[in-house]
A and B are shown apart, each in its own frame.
Chain A
Amino acid sequence: MKPLDDELEIELEIERYELFADPLYNFTFNRRQFLKVFSGGIALLVPMSNLLVASAQQEQGESGRGRFDQRVPNEIGAWIHIDEAGTVSVFTGKVELGQNIRTSLAQAVAEELHVSIESVRMVMADTDLTPFDAGTFGSRSIPFMAPQLRKAAAAARETLVALAADQLKVAPAEVRIVNARFVNHDASKSLSFADVAKGRKLVKAIPADVTITAVKDWTIAGKSVPKVGARDFVTGKHEYTSDMKRPGMLFGRVVRAAAMNSTLVSADTKAAEAISGVTVVRDGDFIGLAAPDPQTLARAEKAIAVHWKAPGQTSAAQLFEQLKRESSPGRGGARPVGSIADGMAQADKKLSQAYTVAYIAHAPLEPRAAVAEWKDNKLTVWTGTQRPFGVRSELAEAFRIPEENVRVIVPDTGSGYGGKHSGECAIEAARIARASGKPVKLVWTREEEFKWAYFRPAGVIEVSSGVKNDGTVTAWEFHNFNSGASAIQSKYAFPNQNIQFHNSQSPLRQGSYRGLAATANHFAREVHMDELAQLVGMDAVAFRLKNTQDQRLKAVLEAAAQAFGWGAKRPAGRGAGIACGFEKGSYVATAAEVSVDPKTKKVKLERVVASFECGAIVNPVHLHNQVEGAVVQAIGGALFETIDFQNGEILTAKFSRYRVPRFSDVPPIEIVLLDRKDSPSAGAGETPIVGLAPAVSTAIFEATGQRLRSLPLVPNLS
């Protein structure tokens, strides 16, 4: 099955924050800006266009054969700099949120430069220092950024070697890099990086013909390199945004309504304003506070009396009915194939079912936080966001100042999972800071993070299908209402299909979430596939294998089935399920075993096997950690996470009311990683999350005879 082409997917995708797949604006790090921060030494530039070319090729499944512009590019996507002291720095707009891209990208650069990973300094996500980047999302950093940085590093090495050879008065072919020194054939002469870079002012775009290390020859990538900076994290030294302190900094708060879409009726802020050191900001419906210390801030907050008015709003009980009622006509999630009528006519059995998924919250452990500082008319904001350049735009727009007057810096952040694309907290901190004339730190409370961020979209998915008694699916009609188009297509070879995504009116603010709608679409598709297999009396694995020709999908499915011991007999009260899928260049299959207590109906996840394949593995331990983490996060959405809301108010706005997976929820998890050195490395942050929910639903069915078609599953068990 041909994957959705990029253009079509962008047109369909409703997760609006990820529409920034390609830069829509031209406010990039251009040559002029580059020269401002380039002080000397040697720089290798990755043209922005390269990242886009690489992106297009990856999505078409083609290998790299691009012809690159040799001139110094006008727009720069990333650059590598060897300064006059010999320090190697990599400048990229990517953000570190725990996915360990800081480590993986450093591995790529270290490898090509023939230096140790410790000698590579990663400068990330600072809009004044790093080139434009659309954001850290969509599993894009490894497939698109890493190969380009490799090319830049390889070109840097060639350039440095040529310069070193010249200085050493030997042939370039004779020069090797050993322990961060350029040495001649018998190591009788050597130069440091500083010796070679000193006094230079050399800028080059990466040439078209630069060759990079073949996967089979990797010595730094492909290995389990520990997390860069790990020591700072285990000692508490790492400074997250929420830990920062600036000279004269005030602590900020925003006064909020209980319900969404509230308007301010009246506010009495006089008593708060009378407190020494307190700033109160009133701007439309916005009320912000700042105080020199948390105690004064708390006093000021208590002294404010506010009345809000909220309109009547949809509650959770009406959600799915509304999503269907308010939906637009389907816009074609994929080009229809064949004829559903013909496919149904060929079928021996038919099935129509509806599936739903709830709104869930990312609940990153570090809530949104920002420190904002104005100097003259220039604004600097430190904030944990996945889209530093997007937040810069939001700030420039909010304060009607040019983007070059705004600097956004993202310290390595306490996770995001797709939930930190937006700049609300940054704007609020900046608004309060402007009023108070001092730097302001604003850290959202957990309640604010639950109420005023955004959710993974809820959705209704309707599937109608036909199947022959031999297990061939003949017709596949699939309608997704609201949750999104990601992975709405599959690697199954259905001869007749009509797959549509329907936009709808969401009562809650919704946006990206790890894997986007791939979780919802896999849930509906894979549970439905299991139902079909059951209809024709076929084994779940055999049924799937019969309906796909995709060798990589087959390989992960068979690997999971084998590691799990699929087909083994299970005692009463136990059940097993399996599901597989593909998204963003990687393949996953997940098998789960559950036990269900016949009296209490308590579901216990007994064990999980996940097999995963994302091309050539860059860092096995971190990949293992990512896949395991995705499976654990998936447990919450599969079993118990759900946002309850009533008349505009989020009722589940604290961890005591919103259950997320804990130690005791996690069963033994076996991860099988398939390393395909012949395939380009794809991202791994998202896809491993999609397989668990359908596998668990099926396992519960086997254990109890109840087919659960709504996420989360547990509350629906009767």
Chain B
Amino acid sequence: MANITSLNVNGRKLPVSVDSQTSLLTVLRDYLNLTGAKYGCGEGQCGACTVLVDGQMTRSCVTQAGKVAGKQISTIEGLEKDGQLHPLQQAFIEADALQCGYCTSGMIMSGVALLKKNPKPSRAEIVKHMDRNMCRCGTYLRIVKAIEIASGTAKEVRK
């Protein structure tokens, strides 16, 4: 089986030696110690494993590492810049858009992908884009609000 020797993650070329068919999620978590992306289902249904590949929302649990070798992979760990949270990270805190937090990395990465291609999404566009991300604690309305805060379209912040 073909092996890959490195992955570009968060702007850095990281050496790793794995079979190219290994899931990107496994490589990130178990070989590169980037555990921000989570395992939730292994079938691309829950979105907890979401990362960006060349800016596109990607389910890392159903993506083979070989398919993304050479591409730019962004994970939650790379979102904070110089100690400054990404506006969507900040908005998640402001909107209290999490309970257990296990879905949060995937939610934020999916939201970041949305805001990249659509900086002022409508509520319906947010729901449509985020619909493949699950939150079992039921904080969906707050996540919508967080995305609206980050995009500057929020009407009021829930307290």
User: Nearest chain B CB to A296's CB is how many angstroms away?
Assistant: 10
CB atoms of B46 and A655 under 8 A apart? yes
CB of B35 closer than 8 Å to a CB of A: yes
Query: Which B residue's beta carbon lies closest to that of A444?
Result: B39
CB atoms of A632 and B22 under 8 A apart? no
Binary interface encoding of chain B residues 119-136 relative to chain A, with 1 for a CB under 8 A from any of its CBs, else 0: 000000011101111111
Alpha-carbon distance A151/B70, docked complex (angstroms): 59
Binary interface encoding of chain B residues 3-38 relative to chain A, with 1 for a CB under 8 A from any of its CBs, else 0: 000000000000000110010001001110111111
CB of B154 closer than 8 Å to a CB of A: no
A residues within 8 A CB of B80?
235
Binary interface encoding of chain A residues 649-683 relative to chain B, with 1 for a CB under 8 A from any of its CBs, else 0: 00000111000111110101100000000000000
With contacts A243-B29, A664-B131 taken as known, whether A230 is within 8 angstroms of B159 at the C-beta atoms is no
Q: List residues 171-212 of chain A with CB under 8 A from any CB of chain B.
A: none
Binary interface encoding of chain A residues 87-99 relative to chain B, with 1 for a CB under 8 A from any of its CBs, else 0: 0000000000111
Q: Report the stretch among A362-370, A429-437, A533-541 that lies at the interface.
A: A362-370
User: Nearest chain B CB to A224's CB is how many angstroms away?
Assistant: 5
With contacts A235-B36, A446-B41, A666-B141 taken as known, whether A621 is within 8 angstroms of B158 at the C-beta atoms is yes
CB atoms of B100 and A415 under 8 A apart? yes
Query: Which B residue's beta carbon lies closest to that of A413?
Result: B100
Query: Which A residue's beta carbon lies closest to that of B136?
Result: A365
CB of B93 closer than 8 Å to a CB of A: yes
Binary interface encoding of chain B residues 33-59 relative to chain A, with 1 for a CB under 8 A from any of its CBs, else 0: 111111111110110100000000000
CB atoms of B139 and A629 under 8 A apart? yes
* Main SS at interface, chain A: loop
Q: List residues 66-94 of chain B with CB under 8 A from any CB of chain A.
A: 75-77, 79-80, 85, 89-90, 92-93
Which of A293, A622, A662 is the one whose CB lies under 8 Å from B96?
A622
CB atoms of A365 and B100 under 8 A apart? yes
With contacts A236-B75, A446-B42, A621-B96 taken as known, whether A633 is within 8 angstroms of B138 at the C-beta atoms is yes
CB atoms of B130 and A236 under 8 A apart? no
CB atoms of B92 and A234 under 8 A apart? yes
Which of B29, B76, B93, B128 is the one whose CB lies under 8 Å from A231?
B93
Alpha-carbon distance A227/B90, docked complex (angstroms): 13
Query: Which A residue's beta carbon lies closest to that of B19?
Result: A295
CB atoms of B139 and A628 under 8 A apart? yes
CB atoms of A415 and B99 under 8 A apart? yes
With contacts A655-B43, A663-B127 taken as known, whether A630 is within 8 angstroms of B98 at the C-beta atoms is no
A residues within 8 A CB of B37?
236
CB atoms of A294 and B26 under 8 A apart? yes
CB atoms of B33 and A630 under 8 A apart? no
Alpha-carbon distance A624/B138, docked complex (angstroms): 12
CB atoms of B39 and A295 under 8 A apart? no
CB atoms of A414 and B30 under 8 A apart? no
Which of B39, B43, B128, B134 is the one whose CB lies under 8 Å from A242?
B39
CB of A245 closer than 8 Å to a CB of B: yes
CB atoms of A226 and B138 under 8 A apart? no
Alpha-carbon distance A628/B138, docked complex (angstroms): 7
CB atoms of A366 and B38 under 8 A apart? yes
A residues within 8 A CB of B42?
445-446
With contacts A654-B43, A663-B131 taken as known, whether A233 is within 8 angstroms of B104 at the C-beta atoms is yes
User: Nearest chain B CB to A139's CB is how many angstroms away?
Assistant: 15
User: Nearest chain B CB to A417's CB is how many angstroms away?
Assistant: 7
A residues within 8 A CB of B85?
231, 234-235
A residues within 8 A CB of B101?
98, 233-234, 238, 412, 414
User: Nearest chain A CB to B148's CB is how many angstroms away?
Assistant: 13
CB atoms of B142 and A236 under 8 A apart? no
B residues within 8 A CB of A363?
136
Query: Which A residue's beta carbon lies closest to that of B92?
Result: A234
User: Nearest chain B CB to A137's CB is how many angstroms away?
Assistant: 15
Alpha-carbon distance A225/B37, docked complex (angstroms): 27
A residues within 8 A CB of B39?
242, 367, 443
Which of A233, A235, A251, A294 is the one whose CB lies under 8 Å from B77?
A235
A residues within 8 A CB of B102?
98, 240, 364-366, 414-415
Which of A99, A242, A245, A656 is the one whose CB lies under 8 Å from B33?
A245
Query: Which A residue's beta carbon lies closest to that of B45?
Result: A655
Alpha-carbon distance A238/B134, docked complex (angstroms): 19
Q: Which residues of B come within 8 Å of A, CB atoms? A: 18-19, 22, 26, 29-31, 33-43, 45-46, 48, 75-77, 79-80, 85, 89-90, 92-93, 96, 98-105, 108, 126-128, 130-144, 158-159
The 3 closest A-B pairs by CB, nearest first: A236-B36, A632-B138, A98-B100
Q: Which residues of A come within 8 Å of B, CB atoms? A: 97-100, 224, 226-227, 230-231, 233-240, 242-243, 245, 251, 293-295, 362-367, 412-415, 417, 443, 445-446, 620-622, 624-626, 628-633, 654-656, 660-664, 666, 668-669
Beyond the given A365-B38, A620-B159, please list 14 additional residue pairs across the A-B interface where CB-CB is below 8 A. A98-B98, A99-B99, A100-B99, A226-B96, A293-B30, A295-B22, A365-B103, A446-B41, A624-B158, A625-B142, A655-B45, A655-B46, A663-B127, A663-B140
Residue contacts A-B, CB under 8 angstroms, 8 given: A227-B98, A235-B79, A240-B38, A294-B22, A362-B136, A632-B141, A662-B132, A663-B127
